[in-house]
Amino acid sequence: MAMKQQQIVIIGGGGHTRVLIGMVQAAGLPLRGIVTANAALLGSVVLEVPVLGLEGEVDLDPTEVMLVNGVGNHATGKGPGLAPRTALYQRYRAMGFDFPPIISPQAVVHAHVAMGEGVQVMAGAVIQPGVIIGENSIINTCAAIDHDVVLSPHCHIAPAAVLCGYAVVGEGTHIGAGAVIIDKVRIGNRAVIGAGATVTKHVPDAAVIRPAPAVTEML
């Protein structure tokens, strides 16, 4: 007897969630609804998808549903801003929930790309062979990841960022919109690469790189 397909529940409710709704639907996955931490969304629908209730108050069974992390991030000069997204993912994984990779049909992902649980690849992204993407990472709209790049877990590659071949990005790091990481450069853990920055040298953990001219600061 065929097994029943698990439904999808998105945890979130903001702009990142709205982008994911279309991606989940395009993948042909059955979307049950949204669970949120925002009480103002109770009783509403988001892009015709119902809000089921508040986190901790909706009975979710990991044998019946898979989850999609609808929490995005906004990096600042004080840090990458990925802690809430990472904490949500780790909390639900500890409860036994699976997070399937969600890939836009408008993305180009080579067959020889390895990606972990919960990876999200948005429309227009291009990911070349040999790339490894750690769990719970976001490859955002029109980002370009060249061959043999390694992304550690919980990263965010923002829209139109470019990572050249053999670059390595540490855990929990934010690469800003339009930033360019030159080939073979290593970016540390929990770093912030500002929007539009061009990085030609290795970046230490917890550093902030600002564009034009780039300035390194320690958090």
Mind listing the pLDDT tens digit for each residue in 164-213? 999 999 999 999 999 999 999 999 999 999 999 999 999 999 999 988 55
Residue among 16, 74, 147, 156 flagged as catalytic: 147
State CA 141 to chain mean position distance.
11
Instruction: Indicate the SS3 state at residue 27.
Output: coil
Average pLDDT over residues 125-148: 98
Task: Give the pLDDT score at 218.
Answer: 63
Average pLDDT over residues 111-128: 98
Tell me if 183 sits within 8 A of 199, measured CB to CB: no
When the pLDDT of each residue in the chain is averaged and rounded to a whole number, the result is 94
Task: Give the pLDDT score at 3.
Answer: 46
Tell me if 217 sits within 8 A of 193, measured CB to CB: no
Backbone angles phi, psi at 86, to 5 degrees: -65, -45
pLDDT higher than 60, residue 2? no
Task: Give the pLDDT score at 78.
Answer: 85
Known catalytic membership, residue 110: no
For residue 84, whether the previous peptide bond is cis, meaning omega lies within 30 degrees of 0, is: no
Joined together, the tokens standing for residue 130 give 């040999």
pLDDT higher than 80, residue 216? no
Task: Give the pLDDT score at 77.
Answer: 83
pLDDT higher than 60, residue 150? yes
Percent of the chain with pLDDT over 90: 89
Per-residue pLDDT band for 144 (boundaries 50, 70, 90) equals very high
